[in-house]
Amino acid sequence: MTSDVSSDWTDRIYYGGDLPRAAEKALHLAAAHWHDPPQAEAWLAEAWRLAADHRAVKLGHYKYFFYRQDLRRAAPYALLCVEDAARQLNLPADWRLVTPADAAFDVPLDDIEAEPRFFLYALKAYGYVLFRQGAHDDGLEALRKVADLDPQDRTATRLLLAVIERGQEDED
């Protein structure tokens, strides 16, 4: 099953050592089997079985389905990433209730802490996939929340919203 993949590559540690090694290896094998979706998804399922609560596993699932253009399956994992970051920041469980004062969202991008940055980008991803799969109102609500939390538009969400709004005008 893994004979075509170098063990040097699959045994490497990228996630800070707190992800169980077997789960990390399963994520690497999922990536290595990108060309074989049933096999890749079996490895993703194994990573989930071993460490469903780990951010890298949630993010791995999101990225896999996003890049496969399976937005319906990507959206729940994007939301899990939003919820994970919200927990880490002690934010309200419902992202709609988050305010700019709840975390250091407005510092320069080079200085922003990892958790607020991850929250913003995860919420942007969630809004984007919702919008792209046809849940326009919900997607725009999430994207507008990111724009509200990121007044300097370091995440380029306002730019994305402008493109979306221009596209909607073109359709009219």
Report d(CA 79, CA 55) in Å as an integer. 12
Statement: residue 9 has pLDDT above 50: no
Q: Which domain, by its residues, includes 116?
A: 69-171
Q: Is residue 152 domain-resident?
A: yes
Same domain flag for 96 and 147: yes
Q: Is residue 59 domain-resident?
A: no
Residue 105 has a pLDDT of 87
Report d(CA 58, CA 35) in Å as an integer. 20
Quick check: helix, strand or coil at residue 8?
helix
First-residue to last-residue Cα distance in the chain:
51
Q: Which of 140, 172, 171, 170 is nearest to 158 (CA)?
A: 140
Statement: residue 11 has pLDDT above 60: no
Same domain flag for 43 and 73: no
CA–CA–CA angle 43, 46, 52 (5° rounding): 125
Compute and round to an integer the Cα radius of gyration of the chain. 18
The Cα diameter of the chain in Å comes to 54
Percent of the chain with pLDDT over 70: 84
Residue 7 has a pLDDT of 55
Q: What is the mean pLDDT of the chain?
A: 89
Q: Is residue 58 domain-resident?
A: no
Statement: residue 148 has pLDDT above 50: yes
Residue 15 has a pLDDT of 54
Same domain flag for 47 and 100: no
CB atoms near residue 138 (< 10 Å): 15
Please indicate whether residue 6 or residue 84 has the higher confidence score (pLDDT).
Answer: 84
In this prediction, residues 57-68 reach a mean pLDDT of 97
Q: Is residue 21 domain-resident?
A: yes
Same domain flag for 89 and 32: no
Same domain flag for 41 and 82: no
Report d(CA 101, CA 12) in Å as an integer. 39
Q: Which of 41, 38, 36 is nearest to 61 (CA)?
A: 41
Q: Is residue 62 domain-resident?
A: no
Same domain flag for 89 and 160: yes
Residue 16 has a pLDDT of 60
* Domains: count for the chain: 2
Q: Is residue 64 domain-resident?
A: no
In this prediction, residues 133-137 reach a mean pLDDT of 95
Same domain flag for 81 and 39: no
Q: Is residue 78 domain-resident?
A: yes
Lowest-confidence region among 23-37, 50-64, 104-118? 104-118
Residue 104 has a pLDDT of 87
Distances (CA, A) of 143 to 127, 139, 157, 164: 5, 6, 7, 10
Same domain flag for 85 and 140: yes
Same domain flag for 153 and 78: yes
Percent of the chain with pLDDT over 90: 76
Give the phi and the psi of residue 123 in degrees, each rounded to 5.
-70, -35
Same domain flag for 91 and 16: no
Residue 3 has a pLDDT of 46
Same domain flag for 87 and 18: no
Same domain flag for 87 and 34: no
Q: Is residue 99 domain-resident?
A: yes
Statement: residue 4 has pLDDT above 90: no
